Structure 1
Amino acid sequence: MTIEQAAFCLAVFLLAGAVKGLVGLGLPTIVIALTTLFLPLTEAIAMIALPSILTNVWQAAVGGNFRRIVRRQWLLIVPLAVSLYVTMWLVGQKGPNWAFLVLAAVLIVYSGLGLFRIRLHIHADLERPLRPAIGVISGFVAGVVGVPIIPLMPYLQGLDIKPSELVQTLGVVLCATSLALTVSLLKFGLLDGPRGLVSAAAVVPALGGMWLGQQIRRRLSVEQFRLAVLWALLLTGLYTFASRALW
């Protein structure tokens, strides 16, 4: 990685941290979407390991509902972690050639749902039987591209959860995802010494950006910023799909 690329990566983590502090999610999605424009996917996934853990621990600890959320979501969390680990074991260290197409599809679908304001409404009777299936599919997606937002995010947003509790729920589930991802990266040799140093260095701008985003949230319209993030993710997904499909 050149000095210019390293500086760009740190700036991306600052931006992604600010988005997470403002809207409660987006750090791994934005980092992977932008850094894979010039880095291999496995390198980008390795970079998000430590920043994702620390920012999600911070988010999971705030709200006072940690134990209740774990009791409610453990049937989702455990299958997600197991599926993620198994997927990374199956796809190998370099990742499949079609991983970038999966990443593009995830970005396009997620941003499209947000821009068109499509929100699922999941009945309470369906929540429990859906948890393991959502966990397995989200774990597979996370194992391939490093981010579990599809179908995890539409599912969680479709539950009967207060907005403040949803932010903490995201923190708890994504914290478990980050831990499982980091263990998998270490186990399969994808998070070695140099990559670990880069990931550790990214913690500072990520936490700084998260603090900045929380301050901005008190002053600016979250909705306008959310739309800007969704458009950026959509364009990045379309670019990734077009460049890989043509290649």
Structure 2
Amino acid sequence: MLDLHLSSGLLYPHLQALGALELLGVVVALMLGGMVKGITGIGVPLVAMPILTHFLPVKLAVLLLSMPIIIGNIPQALEGGEMLRTVRQIAAPLVGTVIGNVIGVSVLVALEPHHAQAASGIALIVAAVLLLAAPKLTLAPALVQPVGFALGFGAALMESIASVPGPLLAMYLIASGATGRTFTKRIAIILVVSVVTLITTFSHGAHANGADLAISAAASLPAIAGMLLVRPLRDSLRPVVFRGVVLAFVLAAAAQMIWKSGVL
């Protein structure tokens, strides 16, 4: 059972130690992530993560972004019903994400802070390159399950280290023929299961508690505000161009994270 005392958690002591401008920076990072997601559909963590690491250790930034991912995906996961049927269809990547998150969180907790920052930066670069390249693959029926497990596992590692599981999952679902609502429902279910596993593993291995989850849930508010703020602009901007600019920013920010870590 999760401990609800603030002082025994991970996020509260670090956030309490931040100055007013630094806390504002955290809020702005979450809001910018929401604004970009509102226009392009790119996940909040891809944009918010490199900014948050200026104010929080990578491990805490991952934890802070966990509930915004869940809250943002639950409505899509439940849309249209047929949950059991859908879960059976994506069983392979689901199993891969559970195992990947258990291993990934263990690795993240064990890493030194500068190594964790470098690993997060590399994961962000990989995610941005995958989205920029937008590879279009087609999987033979015999490969759907094994590839689903492998990419689910890889996506969970990226989730644990940098909160960006989306690109690998999107590649798999598109290659396996998922489109439209089927795509959004399947990826939403996988993401919810993935992050629930992440939080559960964090609570055991890194001493996260109920207060951490409450703070992470509160972090959803700026992201939602950002999405609502740009809604009037969504149809007047060219998402493809905006997406490219955003991903270029992510590449630059992630490279800066690696440089700042000192591993080079």
Superposition TM-score, scaled by structure 2 size: 0.79
| Distance in 2 separating the partners of 1:82 and 1:226 | 31
Q: Deviations over 1:223-244 (max 9, x none)?
A: 2222122112111122122222
Report if aligned partners of 2:108, 2:161 keep a CA contact under 8 Å in 1.
yes
Mark the structure with the bigger radius of gyration: 2
Q: Summarize the Cα distance change of 1:191–1:93 in structure 2 as closer, same or farther, 3 Å threshold.
A: farther
Match among 32, 36, 58 for residue 49 of structure 2 = 32
Aligned to 2:99: 82
Stretch deviating more after TM superposition (233-242 or 214-223): 214-223
Q: Structure 1: where are the runs of 5+ without partners?
A: none
Output the aligned Cα RMSD.
2.7
Report if aligned partners of 1:33, 1:233 keep a CA contact under 8 Å in 2.
yes
Report if aligned partners of 2:128, 2:250 keep a CA contact under 8 Å in 1.
yes
Q: Summarize the Cα distance change of 1:157–1:2 in structure 2 as closer, same or farther, 3 Å threshold.
A: farther
Q: Deviations over 1:211-230 (max 9, x none)?
A: 44555444432222221221
Q: Which amino acid aligns with 2:48?
A: V
| Distance in 1 separating the partners of 2:76 and 2:227 | 10
| Distance in 2 separating the partners of 1:65 and 1:207 | 27
Q: By how many angstroms is 1:191 displaced?
A: 2.8
- 2:31 aligned with 1:17: no
Aligned to 2:156: 139
Q: Deviations over 1:61-87 (max 9, x none)?
A: 345565543221122112211321233
Q: By how many angstroms is 1:171 displaced?
A: 1.6
Report if aligned partners of 2:114, 2:262 keep a CA contact under 8 Å in 1.
no
Q: Summarize the Cα distance change of 1:111–1:65 in structure 2 as closer, same or farther, 3 Å threshold.
A: farther
Q: By how many angstroms is 1:90 displaced?
A: 4.8
Aligned to 2:74: 57
| Distance in 2 separating the partners of 1:61 and 1:21 | 20
Aligned to 2:123: 106
Q: By how many angstroms is 1:167 displaced?
A: 2.6
Stretch deviating more after TM superposition (235-244 or 215-224): 215-224
Match among 188, 193, 200 for residue 171 of structure 1 = 188
Q: Structure 2: where are the runs of 5+ without partners?
A: 1-17
Q: Which amino acid aligns with 2:69?
A: S
Stretch deviating more after TM superposition (207-216 or 130-139): 207-216
Q: Summarize the Cα distance change of 1:44–1:82 in structure 2 as closer, same or farther, 3 Å threshold.
A: same
Q: Which amino acid aligns with 1:222?
A: P
Equivalences for 1:118-137 in 2 at 5 Å?
A: 118-137=135-154
Q: Which amino acid aligns with 1:43?
A: L
Q: How many residues align?
A: 247
Q: By how many angstroms is 1:175 displaced?
A: 1.3
- 2:220 aligned with 1:203: yes
| Distance in 1 separating the partners of 2:182 and 2:50 | 27
| Distance in 2 separating the partners of 1:98 and 1:246 | 7
SS class of match (2:90): helix
Stretch deviating more after TM superposition (102-111 or 43-52): 102-111
Q: By how many angstroms is 1:44 displaced?
A: 0.7
Q: Which amino acid aligns with 1:87?
A: G
Equivalences for 1:211-230 in 2 at 5 Å?
A: 211-212=228-229, 216-230=233-247
Aligned to 1:188: 205
| Distance in 1 separating the partners of 2:176 and 2:69 | 24
Report if aligned partners of 1:51, 1:203 keep a CA contact under 8 Å in 2.
yes
Q: By how many angstroms is 1:173 displaced?
A: 1.4
Q: Which amino acid aligns with 2:116?
A: A
| Distance in 2 separating the partners of 1:90 and 1:244 | 17
Q: Which amino acid aligns with 1:144?
A: I
Superposition TM-score, scaled by structure 1 size: 0.84
Aligned to 2:256: 239
SS class of match (1:98): helix
